[in-house]
Amino acid sequence: MTQKVRKAVFPVAGLGTRFLPATKSMPKEMLTVVDKPVIQYAVEEALAAGIEEIIFVTGRGKSALENHFDKPYELSDALRKKGKMKELDMVENVLPENVRVYYTRQGAPLGLGHAVLCARGIVGNEPFALLLPDDIIYSNQGTMLKDMVDAYEETGCSQVMVQEVPTDRIKNYGILDPKGAEVKNGRVQAHAFVEKPKPEDAPSNLGVVGRYILSPRIFDFLEEKVVGAGGEIQLTDAMDKLIQEQDFYGFLLDGQRFDCGDKVGFQQANLFYALKDDYIGPRLREFLEQEHIKNELSKTA
């Protein structure tokens, strides 16, 4: 019987320099996609997968994020007095009562592997989900992370979400090496991982996107603190070592991933969720259909 996956780690120490000046005094994870901060999408996905404990690996200047997941007593009081019960529910129930939240700091920007290692003491000796909140994952059934959790709990094998990426983007991803293994039912066995290879050296075009279910054995490899691509301690390198000992699987993304760490991906996410919204969607479409708006948009900025 394998252990249950109860905990999720969210690395949120990044500076968000790509979004300056918006992120000068605000964490990038608090930028809004329609009406929710980016971080809330990943947290809701984790909760839907049955996660009960949330671990944020934070850094300096992230207090707005901590406040977001706390109870806002003054605001709740004011909303209650005004009878704004819908809004009250929105601010009170960002997290269900039974979910516990922990914060730990990543003292120095030494890479994703280092950020994950910072959570070791809180995760302990049990498997955990890792969600990189820059990635918003939209899947029709909304159950991909849950499927990955189930797969871990059935097999004890670590799981990672992957998507086919265009050749010119391979250098931005951890790449899964299937060594000839075929994708079956949207899953593929991984035989190696390589962080941000040159396209000509890449073993495949299967890029790791920010969802992982990891065995706690990963921490032993992270503890070696080997410096990898970009001079950082890379999670991908530790995964490549774990794979020598334990089977590891890739889950092919069935849906849409928005890279909100990038300005284009962030705007795509806003457009997508806005157009899907019952209130905003029709109004936004109507706005875009107006001739003078179309004319204006046809000119380059």
Residues forming contacts to ligand G1P in the complex (CB under 6 A) are 112, 132, 135, 173-174, 195, 207-210, 235-236
Say how far apart CA 201 and CA 172 lie, in whole Å: 13
- Give me the least distance between CB of 175 and ligand G1P, in Å please: 8
Is 161 within 8 Å of 212 (Cβ atoms)? yes
Considering beta carbons, is residue 37 or 261 the nearer one to ligand G1P? 261
- Give me the least distance between CB of 236 and ligand G1P, in Å please: 5
- Give me the least distance between CB of 32 and ligand G1P, in Å please: 20
Of 65, 49, 67, the residue nearest 57 (C-alpha) = 65
- Give me the least distance between CB of 210 and ligand G1P, in Å please: 5
Considering beta carbons, is residue 16 or 210 the nearer one to ligand G1P? 210
- Judging by beta carbons within 10 Å of its beta carbon (0-12, 13-18, 19+), is residue 74 exposed, middle or buried? exposed
Output the residue with the shortest Cβ distance to ligand G1P. Answer: 174
Say how far apart CA 246 and CA 241 lie, in whole Å: 9
Considering beta carbons, is residue 173 or 273 the nearer one to ligand G1P? 173
Considering beta carbons, is residue 37 or 210 the nearer one to ligand G1P? 210
Q: CB count, 10 Å around CB of 288?
A: 12
As a three-state string, the secondary structure of 150-169 is HHHHHHCCEEEEEEECCHHH
- Give me the least distance between CB of 161 and ligand G1P, in Å please: 9
Considering beta carbons, is residue 135 or 177 the nearer one to ligand G1P? 135
Considering beta carbons, is residue 45 or 135 the nearer one to ligand G1P? 135
- Give me the least distance between CB of 9 and ligand G1P, in Å please: 14
Q: C-alpha dihedral over 139, 136, 108, 61, to 10 degrees?
A: -140
Say how far apart CA 232 and CA 113 lie, in whole Å: 8
